Amino acid sequence: MTGFGARLVEAVAARGNLCAGIDPHPGLLDAWGLDRDPGGLEKFALTAVDVLAEEVSVVKPQSAFFEAYGPPGVAVLARVVEHARDRGALVLLDVKRGDIGSTMAAYTAAYLGEAAPVRADAITVSPYLGFGSLAPALGAGEGLFVLARTSNPEAGGLQNALLANGKTVAQSIVDEAARCNAGAAPLGDVGVVVGATINPGELDLTGLNGPVLAPGFGAQGATVDDLRRLFGADLPGVLPASSRDVLRYGPDPVALRDAVRRTQASLTG
């Protein structure tokens, strides 16, 4: 099967680089007039995926908001992932898994590969047990987005800490991902997560040869100009992620679709 990086390049060429989050936050369920129960979750998530997965290259369900409802919520998540892929979108499942040995292998088996019960095209992973702990997932041949420099304020002290070699922790993660992507064309399968609200110049991404997931666009305050200052004018390989800024226009499918298209247009204007 074609690698994730190549599939992503093809999808972005066809549908643009917006990554649309599907985050069934309790406040959004309230705003849509839905109950905070598995039925409300299902209505929200399937309405969102029916619209978003036909408009964008990548959808990003946030697993925690589904898991909060127990087994019924996980069943809804599985349906969302399946429906999104059926409608032509790549699915980046935001699970932020990270562990060692057989446990990491089990996480990988849960989400990546043909036999996975909830089969995504890529997942988010945490390298903070050491980048090498991700080896089972790195060998799966699917997409990974490794947390490098995230947008939450609490992250700076750890991720900008200096190592003995003079690099920051975040830069060392980017460099490890770059090694995984060396020689891949048109793009490697191992991406990094870099918040759209960080300061320009904090990271050198020039050798990554992989995608960048950029949360913080929209509701968290980052603008298109911020994205271009941080990642370059044409946003090569960058997936700006937006969820609440788009989802707040539901439950009307027409309004939701219009919001997605406006956001897409702002990234290319």
- Bridge partners of residue 93, in order along the sequence: 123
Q: How many helices (H) and strands (E) does the chain have?
A: 12, 8
Rounded alpha-carbon distances, angstroms, from residue 187 to 6, 25, 136, 143, 229: 6, 33, 21, 11, 22
Other beta carbons less than 10 A from residue 69's beta carbon: 20
Tell me 199's DSSP state: P
Query: Is 60 one of the annotated active-site residues of the chain?
Result: no
Percent helix, strand, coil in the chain, to 5, is 45, 15, 40
Gyration radius from the chain CA atoms: 18
Q: What are phi and psi of 192, to 5 degrees?
A: -130, 155
CB 17 within 8 Å of CB 231? no
Catalytic residue among 43, 60, 96, 167: 96
> Which residues are the active-site residues?
96
